[in-house]
A and B are shown apart, each in its own frame.
Chain A
């Protein structure tokens, strides 16, 4: 019944708008007379001024967005070695975009205003100018060449994993709808694994090959801990559908693909504790907690539980549509000092000890 009523109300609203449009249409009087539907000088004038107004609107929304939302982008708080390179390139690209956007939108809308039609005026017959066209072919070529070259160098740096640096090897294992990590242990070599070896009864949930000597000292955890400053190489697997391991603060992302192993290497540069203490993060967290406090008041008023206070943590979050709970597939990443990391890893169970006999 409510459904029917809602649909009725909805239909009424639509009809109301329709009728309002109709009334407007009818008040135009004899507007449906001859040649009234072609723009005349008056229309050209008003629409020309509106074009100018729209230019102002575009600038205003740009300025508003930068002032109001400008602190949202992840540009000031990268936590990996390649992060600042990415951010620099990003800012460079944004500057280029900003300049081109400001100029071209001005030309477009200003011309639309300036050259609005008038009876008796004749447009300039101007069909071609090779020199001009060469200019706006060559300028983008130069700008793009610069961006491409910078981009390619950055990309190669990021993607090139230097095995000599002895990166810490960790497997990141994705499934609907959670993450698991597997450390390679003392030998820093992951044991072989395949989903066909999964044995739930024995608690071998990742399908690690129990007979592989490299697997014995592997460590399976539900959190990633990383020692600060040490390169890490994350090898990714998925057991069911595509997932994407997105670690925004490390400027890192790679899909997890069933049937193959993908990888992404980076070096964390800021411990979780240090990140929490950066001025940007203190501001951001304070802001978020204020929003949460306001929300909590509403919830309490409704008799529901208040929200927990937020404390910053690095996360790996799923960024490839993977099903119902895609929106809540996350795992904490904790970056800490070497000592803290050593103490933590010592407490974890080795794979061979974790199996049910």
Chain B
């Protein structure tokens, strides 16, 4: 039943569930024709790293700073998502609180709709917020609460926006939650369609982790193309409503926001491009593309000058570290495929070979690009679990893992360096500043003196 991969130095086995085999692509064995099996449900019993629909919806909407995020369900789903995103705000700190209807046994029996309506009333009476998102978690649909009706009634009563996000955890995986969040944003924008466009863009799929949205905004200021709407890093209700005026949507995290870009193109006629602000090459390309599409000669000239200057400075800084990275190998495990692609390029810029690439929600076309970027013996995984990650990291002799919170202790346990490229990033990793920070962090982790003490002399 089990497949044994070739043994590395250690006497380990790469144990893979049969049903998981199709989710693993060894680049040298690209023989299945269909490519990697992705975008499917997780296998029951797997120790999956994947989160749920609610999680997907929540992480996308949570950074909207002046919104109330009311979680309708038992307490857990609100507790686990309280102030964990690392999204910075320049305005309201409202979103850093946790609101829940904390459903109890009685509510499960008699229904929770009344409690939800009362919760909205209590919030309205104290705060009069402009925007409320109501997240319906796993059991809400099962107990038959009509969340739509409660939200509609509240909107009528209070004249603000109360948008339901019906995100039961079982209704697909995290990406499904992203779509729900995008639909909630569309519901917010719908009454605000603009008749004219102006010189300005929306950034989609940047969550201002460690202030990254601010870096992108600064770049746009440099080239003279203002950012109108930021989805959703450091966003507030008022500026989001201006988003339909933009001439272009720039999609940074495609996994979460490509869908929104596509719908905004249909509904508001705003074209979109994918752009990544991770790594020198991608950052430069992103800025130049935006300047090009603005049709503004001045912007183009400013972008060329700016990226020329900044990219060579950043490259010079990376160059200084290269000697420290000689012979090092990286493993990447991130949420979306698009970020993985940027990270592979970035490691290449640093002289580090990427030997394992895993994502939680990568798309087939992204896996194709990834396969084109890595060496022939690299391993590509969809929805990897810790056992697989561990086995392949050992087999491939990875020195550093880039991942999220659940991967950090695993990497350390294996005596491997680590960089959080998720909610717990310690400093901005976007743009040219991000390249410097990323390079420094990788260097500090890979070359920490603690590795010298791993194995005792006795």
- Tell me whether A and B are bound partners: no
Which residues of chain A have a CB within 8 Å of any CB of chain B?
A: none
Q: Which residues of B contact A (CB under 8 A)?
A: none
